[in-house]
Amino acid sequence: MLFNSLNFLLYFFVFYLIYYFSPFRIRKLLLLFFGIYFYSQWSIGGTILLFSSILFNYTIGILIDKIPANKKRPLFIFGITANVLYLAIFKYFLFVWGVLSDLRIEFGESPLLWKPNILLPIGISFYTFHNISYLIEVYDKKIPVCRNFFTFVLYDMFFPLLLLGPIERPGNLIPQIESERFISKDNIWNGLSLFCFGVFIKSSIADPLSRYVGIQVGSFLSLEPGILWIVAPTIAFQVYADFFGYSLCAMGLAEMLGFELMNNFKRPFFSSNPSEFWSKWHISLSTWLRDYVYIKLGGNRHGFVRENINLMFVWFLTGIWHGAGYGFIIWGFYLGICLVLYRILKHLGLTKLQNKVFTGIGILFTFYTFSIGLLLFRINSPKESLLILENLRTFPSWNQIPFMLLLIILPLFLFDLWQEWKQTDRPTFFVTTKPYLFSVILVLSFFWFSLVSPFAKEDFFYFQF
């Protein structure tokens, strides 16, 4: 069920009425059952695999806490390795199989005709990272082990973040599950407004942009000269509206249930350099990789060269985390190189000059660097990256620019501009403080939704990851 589907809205409405008037212990049970039902709508087989992962990580966590100190490390390494292999088998095995087939063709042999049929559980990258962070935190004694199996199951089956995150830290989510949560009137209205705006930007911005992009880049072989200069930023706004929309829905649903999830985006398109951008885009993933990979590799503690080698390795992992394909690997290296080049300029003292002109240029350059990188998601072979470069050698003409796209993007841009001006840490609305102004905005949003929203529902972009 999609968050923006009628089925989900009806089921959630009934669930929420029962949940709101139920005592604390019953609420936990309701959350668990609804999470199981919600995930099983995608795949029963995937649900069984998720429960297997939950049981395994719960057991490893308990054993790490119980066994003697000299035996903890081998068990911890086994637990992390098993999670990585679990993700690799279900997400990357078919890609590796395809690479082997391509190599056979390159050496003049016949391709591998047989292909194994392997289920790819939705959200596997998110909940596997969820469990890895739990094992690391328990092993490092940053959090106590979760002994209540029911609580641990709910930690992985909490439905607002089950499919696409954010990758919530166990030290934040588990205590919220274990403690009684009071739901105030502000929780309900703020949560509902976040959810509605998330659905709005998904349906009214991401979906129309997705159809335009699909028409333009059905094949890189038949592109109009220079059209990628238009398509690239369109993809950027499509992906942002799609994933930011989902994150707002997740935050809103969680707040209505009495929980607080981390903010996954903080107006990234106002960033003036790549380092700032990645501190504001998909924050739960970037901080996860920083804390559990980059810092564990030594971070910046072993000199500037080693620091950037660590950074490139992290970006290689970022690429393959996003998907099994040539484009994702190239994308990871591309953005890693962009970040390393910026850090070299900073190291040489060439980024100290700060004024409005340079900041504006930096924002535009950072945005286009990211946008062009997203084109790599769509390539099926390394050779297609050359077609992208060839198309970008030409600039588009004015009559190629569909100005309707600017109107579609406008509500999201204005919202981010307002939040940037207010310098908010979390997306906020003024439901209770300025109800009349909020009502006007709500009516305008409804008319905008009616004008540009498609009736057909598109899957969330990040479901493929």
Each residue's pLDDT, cut to its tens digit, for the chain (465 residues) gives 677 788 888 999 999 999 999 998 899 999 999 999 998 888 888 899 999 999 999 999 999 998 888 888 999 999 999 999 998 888 877 777 666 666 666 666 666 666 667 777 888 888 999 999 999 999 999 999 999 999 999 999 999 988 877 889 999 999 999 988 889 888 888 888 889 888 888 888 888 888 888 877 766 667 788 888 888 999 999 999 999 999 999 999 999 999 999 989 999 999 999 999 999 999 999 999 999 999 888 888 888 888 899 999 999 888 888 776 777 888 889 989 999 999 888 888 777 767 777 888 889 999 999 999 888 877 766 677 788 888 888 887 777 777 788 888 888 888 888 888 888 877 766 555 556 566 666 666 666 665 655 545 555 554 454
Q: Are 15 and 256 in contact (CB under 8 A)?
A: no
Instruction: Please tell me the predicted confidence (pLDDT) of residue 455.
Output: 47
Tell whether 190 and 114 lie within a shared domain.
no
Tell me, yes or no, whether 176 and 157 share the same domain: yes
Query: CA-to-CA distance for 139 and 67, rounded, in angstroms?
Result: 12
Q: Cα–Cα distance between 140 and 144 in angstroms, integer?
A: 10
Q: Which domain holds residue 455?
A: 186-273+351-464
Shared domain for 443 and 460, answered yes or no, is yes
Residues 39 and 145 in one domain: yes
63, 154, 172, 410, 423 from 30: Cα distances, Å: 29, 10, 21, 39, 37
Let me know if residue 407 belongs to a domain: yes
Assigned domain for 365 exists:
yes
Domain shared by 159 and 247, yes or no:
no
Q: Are residues 196 and 146 in the same domain?
A: no
Does 228 share its domain with 173? no
3-state secondary structure of 435: helix
Question: 62 with 199, same domain?
Answer: no
For residue 354, CA distances in Å to 268, 343, 345, 359, 365 come to 19, 16, 14, 7, 15
Asked if residue 8 is part of any domain, the answer here is no
Distance CA 318, CA 166 (A): 15
Q: Which of 155, 180, 205 is the last residue of a domain?
A: 180
Q: Rounded to whole angstroms, what are the CA distances from 313 to 78, 318, 333, 337, 340? A: 22, 9, 9, 11, 11
| Contact between residue 248 and residue 194 where contact means Cβ atoms under 8 Å apart | yes
Which pLDDT value is given to residue 404? 80
Whether 301 is covered by a domain: the verdict is no
Q: Among the three residues 180, 196, 229, which one is the final residue of a domain in this structure?
A: 180
- 453 in any annotated domain: yes
Give CA–CA dist 102/125, Å, rounded: 26
Last residue of a domain, which of 180, 195, 215? 180
Counting the structural domains of the chain, the total is: 2
Is the domain of 166 the same as that of 241?
A: no
The SS3 of residue 148 is coil
Q: How far apart are CA 178 and CA 171, in angstroms?
A: 11
153 in the same domain as 65:
yes
Decide if 282 is inside a domain.
no
The single-letter DSSP state of residue 143 is S
For the annotated catalytic residues, the residue numbers are 322
Q: What is the pLDDT of residue 458?
A: 56
CA 254 – CA 160 distance, rounded (Å): 6
User: Would you say residue 135 lies in a domain?
Assistant: yes
- Do 255 and 403 lie in one domain? The reply is yes
Tell me the C-alpha distance between 39 and 15, whole Å: 15
Residue type, 357: V
User: Is residue 320 included in any domain, yes or no?
Assistant: no
- Domain match, 151 and 194 both: no
